[in-house]
Structure 1
Amino acid sequence: MKAKKLISVMLAFVFCISFALTASANAPERNVAFDPTFGGEFASALDLRAEGYVTPVKKQDPWSSCWAFGGIAAAESSILSMLAEKGTPLDAKTFDLSEKHLIWFATQPITESVDPTQAGEGMFMFEDDPNYAYNNGGFGLLITTLFSSGVGPVLEESFPYRGKEGLSDLEYLKNYPEFGIPLAYDSLEIPKEDVIALMPDTEMTVSEALETLDASRFRSALNTFKKNGYLDGDDTLTIELFENALYEFYLSLVASPDVYSKYDDWSIPELDENGFPNRNFSAGYTMVDGNILPEVSVKDEEGHWEGINPEGFRAIKSELQKGHGVSASFMADQASPGDPITEDSYLNTETWAQYTHRDSSTNHVVCIVGWDDSYPKENFNEDYMPPGDGAWLVKNSWGSETDYVTLENGMNIGKGDWGIEDENGNHTGYFWLSYYDKSLGSCETMSFDTDLSELDGDFDVWAYDYMPAMVRLEMDTIVQDENVLKTANVFTNSADTDAHLYSVSTRTAMPDAEVSYSIYKLNENPENPEDGTLLETKTASYTYPGFHREKLSGDVTISPGERISVVVEETVTEDGVKLYEYSENAAYATEKAESLGEPVYSVAIVNPGESFLYETDEETGEGTWIDYRDDDDRESVSDKYVLDNFSIKAYVILDSTPAPEPEQETPRRRRSSGGSTASTASYGVSEAGGSNGSVKFSADKAAEGEKVTVTANPDEGYRDKNITVTDSKGNDIPVTKTGDGTYTFTMPASAVTVTPVFEEIPKTENTDLPKTPAVQSVSERFSDVNPDDWYADAVQWAVENGIMVGVSNNEFDPDGEVTRAMVVTMLWRLAGEPESAASTQFEDVLTGAWYADAVAWAAENGVVLGVTDTCFAPDEPVTREQLSAILYRYAQSKGPGFTGMWAFPLDFSDASEVSDYAYEPLCWMTMQNIISGMGDGTIAPKEKATRAQSAKIFMLFAEELEAGR
């Protein structure tokens, strides 16, 4: 039987927050020092923008969807270069493919409407929120899996990157305060029950309340809102007044007017208005190749960078020279735009030159669009300069000041102050990435053609491998043998018209593969995939592993009900030996994915009679075809992985289908171009019966494409919440709220039903009700604080004194981390919330942020400094030694602390791990019994401080200050 070369199956998600790809199992030969002759056959510099092959820079907010933006950018460049070569160029400034369509259908399993025999196959999310698909992460092979199956690419105008209502974050939250106000309470750490409990029993102005109330989170919030103009001192304080100020303040901090809201519904209906699967839309560009390029770096067995791989280096340049954008992964110095630059200093923001100088995983996907061998190494950070000149020109997805679009409503879509500046000082959204970057990898390219969309008839892809490939090929399960191996898929023409075969495809496992395709028309009741008439053969060579489509003569016609097989024989030569091989499509099964904490799991549907495997018996030398569903190797890994059908596809053009008879269902076809022809017919608009109000329409009938206005008329005591519009098949139609009680939608080619939703206007708070006591046992209030917990008394003290609040109404989260913003605010509250004469100089501390006053006070008094002169890093977690140093610095300003000569050794086994700056603070803190060890002889200086530890430390610290020691 076959000798398997099993290369461990590894999940290769690229998460834009945190993800890692290990070195290739087939590491390239070492070439540690960069040699300029690596690219000797290429020009010294190239910029695809100058060729007209690069589309405008986009902005991925509000999602972590860099993988889709990097992949779509690469696809756009490849399509533009292909069209230019064909003599039908497009304007790069207006060419725009949809990231939303790609992202959504990556995590949507196959439905009956797409393929009844494979329904239920695909990727599933553990999360219930459909919008999580946009934060799910992905990588290049996932993109090519989808594109090769006929899932896009589609134009942006068909599936724009926004929610159904098309509202910005600011607009959405303003329209839905009932949704946003609870977010404001949680985000600003102001428990609503505390506000209710502390609200004055008698009529009182804001200024009077500030003079009367004791120190509390509520009082601090009142003061902040008043200082920032959201409250007037003469206003009569009510819960409604407070919540309005709270919400306006919250919106000023977090709600962007230039980013579509993540709280909107970003789902895509399964079917369009004509009953076609939205999954199967295409703009007419069919993938030809999805190439996995050689790794650009040489790494040792432990993943340590050793040098540049000439083969990978040349591959990137070769693909760019063909006009192909290169999607690539690397370790960005910022997880997202606006984040502070990390202490690793990978990015020089004066030159926008990035050099990851440490062995690192990756956290971001981008698109390489050029190179410059002479780009000076001096342009990178001085302390971490690469060993030589040269850099890749990279297109990011964090917006720009040159490519953004301003809409009629004032939204600046795609605007961002990031990247290389042009001659006018505007940020372009591009940056330079050193040839020597130690994280760069996972480089992939695509090529496309319009050959199939140019043919008459309905385009369709016959395939079974709908499960997205979750494993990079060099980490996949690859089977090799010196004896003959072949794979095959059998397809039946289930349409009622002839099908003409124009292309076939497969997914190769290794570089420099030779592939032979054989197409058979099968006999009735065939014994195997070669039991029939050989119609056509084709051989091809592929430099890179990955997806490859091969064009055929077009002479093969399959009549309705006939079956064909596509037989694939793939070989490579290693050390002079010819090896037969194939790759298996692998992904994590449910239990395995869940045990690893992965966000998704996969399901494969492999039916009898679909995929077949030919193996040679080593003893007899005889070959045998088996149904892949029954393959023992496939079943042996079913507890960990699911293996899908072979990636063999047939691309056919179906003769145009006659118009269906009345009451006859319209056959489903994969479309070679998106959209439908506008009709002059008019369709009815009706209201579904509702309660508490009604709606009026601008027209009772409208033609497809016309805008219809809906006006809501709520009953007394009610207000409109939203409306939904559905077509005759129950599909949702996008609705835009244009004002108080008015909505618009675009009429589809179908009658629609409008369903209004009304809600009761909240009544004024009854101040005669008894108030919740201001002091309440935390063990009664917080479900995660028990009376006998070691930190219970400290939490009680912290809450009573307004130093800390819960993370929600009934949770304290004792094991949660504390951040720099939280610690400095706790210390500021302990100090009595003193006023600061200075304003914060830190760019990442917004005016009016809940911690802004505390940061200004701490910086002015030298208690807590920034990580740089302009960066405070408020969200950075604080370690135990950092917390000790901050408190000790404050204690010294009040008198306590060591003076003159002192000696107090730290009697802990890990004392040597304490940083120099923290040694004296930890000595004093332990001497005063403010901080203690972990119970195992260690003090854990580098561990992150928890909320429970912080409450205890602050309580003991406050006692020490009061004693004046």
Structure 2
Amino acid sequence: MQADAAVPQANLAPVAHDETMGNKDDVAAADEKQADAGTAQAGATDAQNAALHDAAMKALSKAIRFDKSGTTIILDFNGDGKTDDTDWATYKDWIKTYRVFDFNGDFSSGYNGGLQVTGGTQLVANGHDKGPDDLNIGIDVDKIKSYYLNNIGQATSVKNQSPFGSCWAFGATSALESAILKAMAGEKGMAYDPALHQTPNLTNVEDGVDLSELELAWLCYSLQPDGDYIKDTLPGDTDSDRLSCGGWGAMAETMYTAWQAVANEADDPYWPLDVPKTYENFRKLGKFVWGLTEGTKTAIAHVQGVNYLPDPAILQLDKQEHMVYQGLNQNAIKLIKEALVKYGAVSIGYQADTALPGKPSESGYFNSTYWAQYCDAVNDITDTHAVCIVGWDDNFDHNKFKAEKNDVSNLKDGAWLVKNSWGSYDWLKKNFPDADPSKAGKAANWGIMDAEGNHTGYFWLSYYDHSIVTPSYFEVDLASDGFDYDNNYSYDYLINESQIPFVLRTKDTGTEVANVFTAKGKEDLAAVSVHTFVADSTVHVRVFLVNDDDLRGNDPTSGKCVADFTSDQLVSGFHTVRLPKVIRLSKGQKFAVVENITSADANDDAGGRVSYIALETGLAKDAQTDDNMGYLFSHANADAGTTYVRILTEDGYRWMTPQELADNYDGGQIFEFGNAMVKAFTANAPEEAVPHCDVATPGNALPTTRNVPAQAQAGGMVARQAVARAAASEALPRTGDANDAATETALFAAALAIIGAGLATRRARG
């Protein structure tokens, strides 16, 4: 805060008097004339003084305000229907004093709900996404009483995350595998035959696709950009601590949409390096050296959509580190069913009976006879685990949910079939055929029992559980059909991207963000990404061809407009949007993708609309103290010339850099802003002499993760191309990093482990 702003003083020089003696009448006349002039000058001076004073007070007011430019940003922390300095002051005090959760899973009676400050910010700033009425899939799911992806070959088998807190990676990977299988089935993938869905098949589930969970979990805490080199966010390439830092849905989105972390299990198995695969070694996995294998890895899909449905459980922050249950979004149940039928499995977060495999059940909401959970807690909701919904049964008996602490007397029938990641009998026998299941603990003895009395690793979760949040699903582009695009131009690699942990809105509809990219060859710009934050959003997209002179005023719209269109998005999340026509780019051509994202204001009964600051967003360094942030700190940054934002101030709309925007709020002591959440997708022009990767064949491998090329520009990466090439010496964009702040054991408490769009608790889950 700037406290000392000098008020300019007016020029009050005295009027000069001529002391030469002369005729008295002349002198009198002269004096009268001079007096009149003095009066006029005094009047002018008074007006000047008033104008100067007003300008000075305005400058002083700006200097001492938290929002010195008077933007229309919405942060109604006090809940009085407006945003003012009181909200900023209270919010700033809160982020410095909130209580950090204990990520090690010690959920004692004194535990205060595990609220993270950024998750609380998301709720305060934006509330809940109510979601669309339906997904327009053309099928009435209310008439389908039971449905199981396993039964039609569109889900994969149960795996085991032990001994790490990597459930989020297993939940996301399961959903992606299912999306790929659903896409492979084509139009037949949505066909419904009631005879195939009478009872769930929970044993001998075949893996039509088997992706690497390790690839995702490892890279999210590994390959973060830092200027001209790749920097591990956690020290040591072989340190498995990163696998227990927890995670959230947007981390998978960040990796997948950057064309990273989609590798086959065979290429990067969930197993330590150079260690014989025996059951004895499985029991001590945490003691070995972990890492990713070197070499080319084949991607069988590009993720083109990451969609977030509204939370079934409506939770609210009481600003004292408690999440309070407010009620059920009944329509969210239908939306999840529609997503299962059309897109595949849906990952979710919920309050598990225990946080990690091998831990005893402590919740009191889990029935271990029927392997069924119903949490009816009202206060201190804590989402601790990520899993994957693979089916449903409307007729599942509500009495089977009865447990020590819950009340099922008024509960309705109905349950999700949920795939966990704590092992199963099948998993144990497949991986360690000589192991004794009776001595394997949860690795073989968790989940619904099959007809043979063996545990399957699945469980039932009531539709009406008070903790179900962040349902999400994927849309994919298959390599077997030929990838739609060859190059992915991206800057937004920060794992805590703007939507997660929070995104900020403005009260007007004119906010815009833009990324400027440079074509690395002769290419056809065919699509861009858009990220929406609530259902039923409208995105206005413009593309400009620009040069350095066009950008001198920080205005990326100063060049030639070559595309101008709008896109309506039904659900929130990441979407790939095709341009009305392709734009041919020459090598070295700079182009700006400008996006304006608007939606209805849920808090405005008059039907007003808001717009979104779609930038990577984090807390400023000064707001992240050792006491309140845990042990991982975020940093958002955008290199010069890469990203711009247009925002309404009291002086009108202004284009500025993310750094200028951050400085506007309490001198940069509250937020940091990085790159815009905007990507561009191109296809190599026909005459381009670059290998075209249309089909994945042994001789034409598609890269993921470490083997991706990069093109350096302004200290950052401009494009990722679907051609295998080592990236160890290539530049990645300086969009964010995370730094170890304390001890090795402290790494388990990831301070920004907050998940999913619209998620209330944003709890790191393992």
TM-score by length of 2: 0.65
Deviation of the 1:150 alpha carbon? 1.6
Change (3 A) 1:634 1:138: farther
Deviation of the 1:470 alpha carbon? 5.8
* Distance in 1 between residues matched to 2:365 and 2:240, nearest whole Å: 32
Pair 1:573-2:600 in alignment: yes
Change (3 A) 1:515 1:259: farther
Cross-structure match for 2:590: 563
Cross-structure match for 1:76: 177
Give the one of 428, 450, 471 matched to 2:478.
450
Give the one of 550, 558, 578 matched to 2:577.
550
Pair 1:355-2:370 in alignment: no
* Distance in 1 between residues matched to 2:159 and 2:451, nearest whole Å: 20
Q: What's the CA shift string for 1:457-499, capped at 9, x where partnerless?
A: x8221111111126755x6141213252211111012x3x312
Cross-structure match for 1:642: 672
Cα RMSD (Å) of the superposition? 3.9
Give the one of 509, 514, 524 matched to 1:488.
514
Change (3 A) 1:452 1:553: farther
Q: What's the CA shift string for 1:653-707, capped at 9, x where partnerless?
A: 3359988xxxxxxx9x99888896399xxxxxxxxxxxxxxxxxxxxxxxxxxxx
Pair 1:2-2:33 in alignment: no
Cross-structure match for 2:756: none
Q: 2:675 aligns to what SS in structure 1?
A: coil
Contact 2:72 2:648 in 1 (8 A): no
* Distance in 1 between residues matched to 2:655 and 2:356, nearest whole Å: 51
Cross-structure match for 1:702: none
Change (3 A) 1:649 1:382: closer
Pair 1:427-2:455 in alignment: yes
Change (3 A) 1:408 1:402: closer
Cross-structure match for 1:417: 445
Cross-structure match for 1:179: none
Q: What's the CA shift string for 1:905-936, capped at 9, x where partnerless?
A: xxxxxxxxxxxxxxxxxxxxxxxxxxxxxxxx
Contact 1:356 1:439 in 2 (8 A): yes
What letter is aligned with 1:135? S
What letter is aligned with 2:614? S
Deviation of the 1:605 alpha carbon? 3.6
Cross-structure match for 1:502: 526
Deviation of the 1:447 alpha carbon? 1.7
* Distance in 2 between residues matched to 1:408 and 1:350, nearest whole Å: 27
Deviation of the 1:604 alpha carbon? 3.1
What letter is aligned with 2:430? T
Change (3 A) 1:40 1:400: closer
Aligned length: 560
Q: 2:444 aligns to what SS in structure 1?
A: coil
Which moved further from structure 2: 12-21 or 569-578?
12-21
Change (3 A) 1:672 1:63: farther
Give the one of 640, 648, 652 matched to 2:682.
652
Change (3 A) 1:54 1:649: same
Deviation of the 1:124 alpha carbon? 2.3
Cross-structure match for 2:303: 287
* Distance in 2 between residues matched to 1:29 and 1:589, nearest whole Å: 26
Cross-structure match for 2:246: 137
Q: 1:144 aligns to what SS in structure 2?
A: helix
Contact 2:166 2:246 in 1 (8 A): yes
Cross-structure match for 2:207: 93
Give the one of 160, 171, 174 matched to 2:269.
160
Cross-structure match for 1:376: 397
* Distance in 2 between residues matched to 1:14 and 1:552, nearest whole Å: 46
Cross-structure match for 1:330: 350
* Distance in 2 between residues matched to 1:42 and 1:605, nearest whole Å: 50
Cross-structure match for 2:194: none
Cross-structure match for 2:617: 586
* Distance in 2 between residues matched to 1:634 and 1:46, nearest whole Å: 52
Give the one of 89, 103, 111 matched to 2:217.
103
Deviation of the 1:596 alpha carbon? 2.6
Percent identity over the alignment is 26
Q: What's the CA shift string for 1:361-389, capped at 9, x where partnerless?
A: 12111011122222111112255343222
Change (3 A) 1:461 1:259: farther
Q: What's the CA shift string for 1:540-574, capped at 9, x where partnerless?
A: 22233222221235621211111111110111123
Cross-structure match for 1:188: none
- What are the equivalent positions in structure 2 for 1:169-180 lying under 5 Å apart? none
* Distance in 2 between residues matched to 1:127 and 1:94, nearest whole Å: 34
Pair 1:65-2:166 in alignment: yes
Pair 1:533-2:560 in alignment: yes
Deviation of the 1:525 alpha carbon? 2.2
Cross-structure match for 1:521: 545
* Distance in 2 between residues matched to 1:441 and 1:498, nearest whole Å: 44
Change (3 A) 1:108 1:336: closer
* Distance in 1 between residues matched to 2:504 and 2:698, nearest whole Å: 43
Point out where structure 1 has 5 or more consecutive residues left out of the alignment.
Answer: 31-38, 171-255, 660-666, 680-747, 751-965
Change (3 A) 1:611 1:438: same
Q: 2:545 aligns to what SS in structure 1?
A: strand
Contact 2:662 2:673 in 1 (8 A): no
* Distance in 2 between residues matched to 1:14 and 1:118, nearest whole Å: 35
What letter is aligned with 2:156? T
Contact 1:108 1:124 in 2 (8 A): yes
* Distance in 2 between residues matched to 1:678 and 1:612, nearest whole Å: 37
Change (3 A) 1:672 1:137: farther
* Distance in 2 between residues matched to 1:260 and 1:289, nearest whole Å: 38
Point out where structure 2 has 5 or more consecutive residues left out of the alignment.
Answer: 1-69, 78-90, 107-113, 131-139, 191-204, 702-723, 727-766
* Distance in 2 between residues matched to 1:616 and 1:446, nearest whole Å: 34
Change (3 A) 1:282 1:42: farther
Contact 1:501 1:557 in 2 (8 A): yes
Change (3 A) 1:388 1:670: farther
* Distance in 2 between residues matched to 1:448 and 1:656, nearest whole Å: 24
Change (3 A) 1:86 1:314: closer
- What are the equivalent positions in structure 2 for 1:755-904 lying under 5 Å apart? none
Change (3 A) 1:637 1:161: farther
What letter is aligned with 2:183? M
Structure whose CA Rg is larger:
1
What letter is aligned with 1:531? S
Cross-structure match for 1:364: 385
Deviation of the 1:351 alpha carbon? 0.6
Deviation of the 1:99 alpha carbon? 0.8
* Distance in 1 between residues matched to 2:102 and 2:266, nearest whole Å: 27
* Distance in 2 between residues matched to 1:371 and 1:409, nearest whole Å: 31
Deviation of the 1:407 alpha carbon? 5.2
Q: 1:540 aligns to what SS in structure 2?
A: strand
Give the one of 105, 113, 116 matched to 1:17.
105
* Distance in 1 between residues matched to 2:491 and 2:586, nearest whole Å: 20
Cross-structure match for 1:778: none
* Distance in 2 between residues matched to 1:534 and 1:41, nearest whole Å: 47
Pair 1:399-2:420 in alignment: no
Give the one of 359, 371, 388 matched to 2:412.
388
